[in-house]
Amino acid sequence: MPTEASQHVVVVGCGVIGMTTALELRASGYTVEIWTRDDLAATTSAAAGAIWYPFLAEPRDAVVRWSGVTFDRLRVLAAEPSSGVRMCPVVEAFAEEEPDVWWADAVKGVTRLEAEHVPPGYCSAVRATVPVCDVPVHLKWLVSELVRSGVPVIRREIASFEEAFEAADRVVNCAGLGARALCHDDDLHPVRGQVCVLEGATVESAWIDDTTPRPRYVVPRPASVIVGGTAQARDERRTPDPADTEEMMAAALAARPELSAGRVASVQVGMRPFRSAVRLERERLKDGRILVHNYGHGGSGYTVSWGCAAEVVSLLTA
């Protein structure tokens, strides 16, 4: 448990990383508040496909560890309908015969498909059952958990962490892409993601093809299907690109023809905060104050969130 002198923590950032971090800190006895520049609907988390799948995050050994913790946490939440989490079968197809399924140790049960069940045009495929978050529902659930736990969310933009340290002697940096300016971090840059939200079509399982420069995926939700996507490094365009929409829909229809019954209800764009390695570390400032960094998760925010949050608690209490 934290000491009286170190109980108050400001978490900067209110995406899925910031919210899960705040909830874990509160559960560990800290008094916590979140400061956020953006409305929740404007965060990258609100535009995510939100299937458990490690993507664009390094180093792999740490990502597998964090992903495993998150997998277990989300699997428990899937039993709670209000959480917006459910377990969903997913098939990932590969262009090679012996794919490197490097994340398999974090999942309970990854099976290789027999040749006759491999999707046409691919050399191999694996199947697993993983958590999927229905983003609108799950984000509302996270907010309700913050309210229930007594964690206020304060709309406030800061120019430096000094402002947060005026309110607390412990600060956790979950600012996502905003950490680029706050930390003067040139290693952090956006990777643009665009997805289509389809209504009127259903699929029984998710599908992923990460063998090409642009990821292709189909993620079912209870009332829609998410089709993606793009991974455009250092591209900060926040408006949908019709050419991207056309290409991703063509790939999705080729893989899942049943999607032809649907219509594109909306197109969403988010900026994944990518870094050569996730920055999850404790920084002790000259005057003894503690700043913990938790950013640079790329396309794996929902996949590593609870695991990274648990590590933040360990770093603060060490």
CA 303 to chain centre: 5
Q: pLDDT tens-digit profile of 203-212?
A: 989 999 988 7
Average model confidence (pLDDT) for the chain? 94
> How big is the CA angle at 90 (ends 221 and 48), to the nearest 5 degrees?
45
Query: 289 or 86: whose pLDDT is higher?
Result: 86
Q: pLDDT tens-digit profile of 188-230?
A: 999 999 999 999 998 989 999 988 788 999 999 999 999 998 9
> How big is the CA angle at 276 (ends 155 and 60), to the nearest 5 degrees?
105
Tokens of 50: 């939100």
Count, residues in the chain: 318
Query: What is the mean predicted confidence (pLDDT) over 288-304?
Result: 96
Kindly tell me if the per-residue pLDDT of 35 is higher than 70. yes
Residues paired with 78 in a beta bridge: none
Q: Which amino acid is at 53?
A: Y
Q: What is the C-alpha to C-alpha distance for residues 199 and 103, in angstroms, rounded to an integer?
A: 31
Q: With bands split at pLDDT 50, 70 and 90, how would you rate the model's confidence at 135?
A: very high
Q: Count the neighbouring beta carbons within 10 Å of the beta carbon of residue 79.
A: 10
CA 226 to chain centre: 15
The domain covering 4-317 belongs, at the CATH homologous superfamily level, to NAD(P)-binding Rossmann-like Domain (3.40.50.720)
CA 224 to chain centre: 19
Q: What is the C-alpha to C-alpha distance for residues 165 and 302, in angstroms, rounded to an integer?
A: 28
Q: What is the pLDDT of residue 214?
A: 85
Q: With bands split at pLDDT 50, 70 and 90, how would you rate the model's confidence at 287?
A: confident
Q: What is the pLDDT of residue 216?
A: 94
Secondary structure of residue 130 in the 3-state scheme: strand
Q: What is the pLDDT of residue 291?
A: 96
Q: What is the pLDDT of residue 5?
A: 44
Where would I find the H helices in the chain? 16-27, 60-77, 135-149, 162-165, 179-182, 242-255, 301-317
Kindly tell me if the per-residue pLDDT of 160 is higher than 90. yes
- The residues spanned by each domain of the chain are 4-317
DSSP character for 70?
H
Secondary structure of residue 260 in the 3-state scheme: helix
Kindly tell me if the per-residue pLDDT of 2 is higher than 70. no
Q: pLDDT tens-digit profile of 248-273?
A: 999 999 989 999 999 999 999 999 99
